[in-house]
């Protein structure tokens, strides 16, 4: 049986987008209530009956959540241009070694705007 598991976390952060045109509203400092979905995928071992303990995913997420929450994302190394696309890749790069079954990072910047990154 093949399954996908999704564990979400949220954080509050400010950012500004330095590559946007000078007169664009996102060029100014502003904040979001971000939500990130971390998705792992694989075949469930019949003898175990589960893919991975959600607690393992939560533990891998914790340092990332702490690094991002209540920060100016532009001040974080690797996020000098903190678009949703770059944030999704940044999160992936930090989780991939601890979650070998990682298949997707889904960054929700607002209720209606999001980005999916699948590590390619």
Please pick, among 26, 32, 104, 115, the residue that the annotation labels catalytic. 26
For 119: left if phi > 0, alpha if psi spans -120 to 50, otherwise beta; the answer is left
Query: Would strands 30-43 and 2-15 be described as parallel, antiparallel, or unpaired?
Result: antiparallel
Q: Is 72 an active-site residue?
A: no
Q: What is the DSSP letter of 25?
A: G
For 49: left if phi > 0, alpha if psi spans -120 to 50, otherwise beta; the answer is left
Please pick, among 12, 24, 30, 70, the residue that the annotation labels catalytic. 70
**Contact call for residues 13 and 31 (beta carbons, < 8 A):** yes
Q: How far apart are CA 34 and CA 36, in angstroms?
A: 7
Q: Is 115 an active-site residue?
A: no
Q: Is 109 an active-site residue?
A: yes
Please pick, among 32, 72, 109, 115, the residue that the annotation labels catalytic. 109
Supply the residues annotated as catalytic. Answer: 26, 70, 109
């Amino acid at each position: 049986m093949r399954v996908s598991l999704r564990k979400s976390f949220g954080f509050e952060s400010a950012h500004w987008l330095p590559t946007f045109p000078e007169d664009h509203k996102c060029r100014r400092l502003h904040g979001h209530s971000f939500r990130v979905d971390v998705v792992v995928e694989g075949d469930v071992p019949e003898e175990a009956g589960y893919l991975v303990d959600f607690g393992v995913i939560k533990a891998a997420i914790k340092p990332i959540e702490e690094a991002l929450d209540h920060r100016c994302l532009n001040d974080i190394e690797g996020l000098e241009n903190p678009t949703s696309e770059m944030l999704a890749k940044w999160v992936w790069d930090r989780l991939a070694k601890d979650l070998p079954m990682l298949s997707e990072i889904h960054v929700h910047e607002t209720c209606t705007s999001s980005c999916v990154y699948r590590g390619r």
